[in-house]
A = this chain, B = another copy of it.
Amino acid sequence: MSPRIVEVRQNVLRKNDELARSLRMRFHASGVFVVSLVSSPGAGKTELLQRTLAEMRVTRRVAALVGDLATDRDAQRLAQSGAPVRQITTGTVCHLDAQMVESALQEWSLDAIDVLFIENVGNLVCPASYDLGEHARVVLMSVTEGEDKPRKYPTIFDTADVALITKIDLAEAVQFNRDEAVASIRSIQPKVPVIEVSCRIPSGISNWLNWLDTRMLQESRGAQFV
């Protein structure tokens, strides 16, 4: 990259960080726990979120924002859960940023939300640099993508609070090497929790929901949470 673009990019990231900090303070003040999901296109973010919203809304007021370059397909899928959902259409922009999140939230009352999920654009690179004010970042990789992806896209795996291995119902069909995948994740971030899930079987969903509960409990010790 040219020095000029590096400078402008640093400026953009600095402004994003400031806005994300103020968003996080608003989330804290309203007792909203915010979770972002990042992955390659097609790793199963929307499917996991459909199930998560359906399970969690029994006991909590959940909502979701979902980013894509084009279409509102994911918002339509997620809205079937009955939870409030809003699509962010980014045009040619390859990631969500704090400004887009703030704008999308404008007509919602944060006091009416306990847990907000933010599904990022499918992209293992660019979303890594943009803080959205979330409390936890979840990275997903599917068994079909190859065990080496964490080593090849290190930043996103380094900044995640948990790594989910999705579509484990296909593990055998693609000769997925579990040990190699976990070693690849841990080579980037040695202590990150790894949870295997499949929405189709289903499998591992309760482990994922337990992780979320525990994380929320930890967060609530420092703030006003449910």
Using CB atoms, name the residue of chain B closest to A154.
B70
The interface on chain A, measured as residues whose beta carbon lies within 8 A of the other chain's beta carbons, has a size of 42
B122 touches A124 (CB 8 A): yes
CA distance A186 to B141 in the complex (A): 28
CA distance A163 to B157 in the complex (A): 29
CA distance A201 to B129 in the complex (A): 39
Q: How many copies does the complex hold?
A: 2
Chain A contacts with B in 140-159, Cβ cutoff 8 A: 142, 144-146, 148-149, 151-155
| Minimal beta-carbon separation of A92 from chain B (angstroms) | 6
Q: Which residues of B contact A8 (CB under 8 A)?
A: 4-5, 8
B42 touches A145 (CB 8 A): yes
- Binary flags per residue of A59-72, CB closer than 8 Å to B gives 1, else 0: 00000000011110
CB within 8 A of A145: which of B41, B92, B121?
B41
Q: A40-B41, A148-B71, A170-B144 are in contact. Are A155 and B92 (CB under 8 A)?
A: yes
In the assembled complex, A93 has its CB within 8 A of some CB on chain B: yes
Using CB atoms, name the residue of chain B closest to A143.
B144
Q: Which residues of B contact A154 (CB under 8 A)?
A: 69-70
CA distance A68 to B68 in the complex (A): 23
B94 touches A41 (CB 8 A): no
In the assembled complex, A209 has its CB within 8 A of some CB on chain B: no
- Binary flags per residue of A1-42, CB closer than 8 Å to B gives 1, else 0: 110110011011000000000000000000000000000111
CA distance A46 to B126 in the complex (A): 22
CA distance A154 to B90 in the complex (A): 12
Q: Which residues of B contact A121 (CB under 8 A)?
A: 125
Q: List 25 A-B contacts (CB under 8 A).
A: A2-B12, A4-B8, A5-B8, A5-B12, A40-B122, A40-B145, A41-B145, A42-B144, A69-B152, A70-B154, A71-B148, A71-B151, A71-B152, A73-B151, A94-B125, A122-B124, A122-B152, A122-B153, A123-B124, A123-B125, A125-B126, A144-B167, A144-B170, A170-B173, A173-B173
